[in-house]
């Protein structure tokens, strides 16, 4: 019998990323044995706070701080060995312990230093149409994967690895030059290319010492044994390569279907889909954002919510919650449970707005049209009285202010999915299960 006897739960972002995935995965991890990343790479920045300390993870799954968890970097991920090595050090967990808690798919693709060079060259050549990429080499690494020329983690165990690396690097250098960027003018992490490359190979050495696995076989066999698994998404549904605001998207499928291809599991193996959203919206980089605020309210949200990128430090664009966009993301992912974060940030406002529809071409619509580029949609807002209360003083659903309960009910009814967790602050402890 080969039947799946357990399901894999998926947690993913429903907006433009940074919804608080890292915090919530860390909170949920005690309920799971295995936590697995299925797409994206070091463009992600997942923040965890507990016991007065703060950590930002980029490639390592957010279950890593729990001693009984096993964490898997799935085949759908793209991995930069240099960033990965630094990230291991930043956890302050000794390498021997990390090696026991972390498994890496042989089929995950490598981000080469020259992919970063290409990312910079392509972004530079886009001029004012730039995507606002994190410049971590994500687009070029996934391009290489789809072009069937990529190097995978498993290749580092083979004798022709360095030769294949050199060939790709030479191609990338030529291509970058054709886009106007010379390798000598490229300073990744402020270093010369050769110095960065040396650190990259040190990272390869660390990976060689770790457990490389056929993660699709492992995940399926654990599922058959009844082991509980949580798949951790990166980015958000509105950055999905197919369904996001193309071309202002990332280069992977961030939606629930990405967990199937990024871990090698069947659609029938998916259990709960936890969709996480902020009680407002943020976006880093370029692209349409219908409810974006350009006024003092937007600045207040950014300051109160500390909305600066976890990976790049860039200020995040801020705006009110966009319900038509949220409903679209819920549909794409088959979300079964919602998780709302950062409602505490809205405590500064007398009145809180949510977008319930858009005015578009002289009509009112409640969905995202194909051409929702900058300025084409005018949000229609509904106002709610603010809660004006420090939510961190609430330790139970029953203590939450009535105004917040009304707001939450409105969202639940609009998208027709219950909110199962309300996060009231960045710390693991600031979490209310309903």
Residues involved in catalysis? 18, 46
Could you say whether residue 43 binds ligand IMO (CB under 6 A)?
yes
Q: How many CB atoms lie within 10 A of CB 85?
A: 19
DSSP 138-180: HHHHHHHHHTT---BGGGGGSTTHHHHHHHHHHHHHHHHHHTT
Q: Cα torsion for 314, 319, 323, 328, to the nearest 10°?
A: -30
Please report which residue ranges of 227-305 form alpha helices under DSSP H. 257-263, 296-304
Question: Residue 104 or 394: which CB sits closer to ligand GDP?
Answer: 394
Q: How far is the CB of 79 from ligand IMO (least distance, A)?
A: 14
Question: Residue 264 or 287: which CB sits closer to Mg ion?
Answer: 287
Q: How far is the CB of 143 from ligand GDP (least distance, A)?
A: 23
If contact means CB under 5 to 8 A according to the sort of partner, which of Mg ion, ligand IMO, ligand GDP, none does residue 351 touch? Answer: none
Question: Residue 42 or 324: which CB sits closer to ligand IMO?
Answer: 42
Could you say whether residue 44 binds ligand IMO (CB under 6 A)?
yes
| H/E segment holding residue 420 | strand 419-423
Q: Which of 45, 81, 113, 236 binds Mg ion (CB under 5 A)?
A: 45
- Phi, psi values for residue 373, rounded to 5°: -70, 170
Could you say whether residue 345 binds ligand GDP (CB under 6 A)?
yes
Question: Residue 86 or 428: which CB sits closer to ligand GDP?
Answer: 428
Q: How far is residue 411's CA from residue 405's CA, in Å, rounded to a whole number? A: 10
- Label residue 143 exposed, middle or buried (CB < 10 Å: 0-12, 13-18, 19+): middle
Q: Which of 318, 344, 372, 404 binds ligand GDP (CB under 6 A)?
A: 344
Could you say whether residue 13 binds ligand IMO (CB under 6 A)?
yes
If contact means CB under 5 to 8 A according to the sort of partner, which of ligand IMO, Mg ion, ligand GDP, none does residue 426 touch? Answer: ligand GDP
Q: How far is residue 121's CA from residue 91's CA, in Å, rounded to a whole number? A: 32
- Phi, psi values for residue 351, rounded to 5°: -130, 145
Could you say whether residue 26 binds ligand GDP (CB under 6 A)?
no
Q: How far is the CB of 314 from ligand IMO (least distance, A)?
A: 7
Q: Which of 253, 342, 358, 414 binds ligand GDP (CB under 6 A)?
A: 342
Question: Residue 20 or 262: which CB sits closer to ligand GDP?
Answer: 20
Phi-psi region of 5 (alpha: psi -120 to 50; beta: other; left: phi over 0): alpha
**Chain-centroid distance, C-alpha 394:** 28
Name the residues that contact ligand GDP, by CB under 6 A.
Answer: 13, 17-23, 45-47, 49, 305-306, 310, 341-342, 344-345, 423-426
Interface positions with ligand IMO (CB under 6 A): 13, 16-18, 40, 43-46, 131-134, 136, 138-139, 234-236, 239, 250, 284-285, 310
């Amino acid at each position: 019998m080969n039947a799946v006897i357990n399901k894999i739960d998926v947690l993913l972002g429903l907006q433009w990323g940074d919804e608080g995935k890292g915090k919530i995965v860390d909170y949920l991890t005690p309920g799971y044995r295995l936590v697995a990343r299925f797409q994206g790479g070091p463009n992600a920045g997942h923040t965890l706070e507990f016991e007065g300390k703060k950590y930002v993870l980029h490639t390592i799954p957010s279950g890593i701080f729990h001693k009984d968890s096993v964490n898997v970097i799935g085949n759908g991920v793209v991995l930069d060995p240099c960033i990965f090595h630094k990230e291991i050090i930043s956890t302050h967990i000794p390498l021997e312990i990390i090696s026991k808690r972390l498994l890496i798919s042989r089929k995950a693709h490598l981000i080469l230093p020259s992919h970063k060079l290409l990312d910079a060259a392509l972004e530079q050549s886009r001029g004012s149409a730039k995507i606002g990429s994190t410049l971590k080499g994500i687009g070029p690494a996934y391009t290489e994967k789809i072009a069937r020329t990529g190097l995978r983690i498993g290749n580092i165990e083979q004798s022709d690895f360095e030769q294949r690396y050199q060939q790709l690097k030479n191609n990338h250098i030529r291509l970058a030059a054709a886009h106007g960027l010379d390798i000598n003018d490229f300073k990744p992490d402020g270093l010369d290319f050769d110095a960065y490359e040396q650190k990259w190979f040190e990272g390869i050495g660390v990976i060689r010492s770790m457990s490389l696995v056929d993660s699709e076989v492992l995940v399926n066999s654990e599922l058959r044994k009844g082991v509980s698994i949580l798949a951790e998404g990166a980015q958000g549904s509105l950055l999905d390569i197919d369904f996001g605001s193309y071309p202002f998207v990332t280069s992977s499928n961030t939606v629930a279907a990405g967990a199937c291809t990024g871990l090698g599991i069947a659609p029938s193996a998916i259990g709960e889909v936890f969709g996480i959203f902020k009680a407002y919206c943020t976006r880093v980089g370029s692209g349409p954002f219908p409810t974006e605020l350009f006024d003092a309210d937007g600045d207040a949200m950014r300051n109160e919510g500390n909305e600066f990128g976890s990976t790049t430090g860039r200020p995040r664009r801020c705006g009110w919650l966009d319900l038509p966009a949220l409903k679209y993301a819920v549909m794409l992912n088959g979300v079964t449970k919602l998780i709302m974060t950062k409602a505490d940030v809205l405590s500064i406002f007398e009145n809180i707005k949510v977008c319930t529809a858009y005015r578009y071409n002289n009509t009112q619509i409640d969905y995202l049209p194909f051409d929702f580029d900058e300025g084409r949609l005018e949000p229609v807002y509904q106002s709610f009285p603010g809660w004006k209360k420090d939510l961190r003083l609430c330790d139970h659903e029953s203590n939450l202010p009535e105004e917040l309960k009304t707001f939450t009910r409105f969202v639940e009814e609009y998208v027709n999915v219950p909110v199962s967790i309300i996060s009231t602050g960045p710390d693991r402890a600031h979490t209310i299960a309903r």
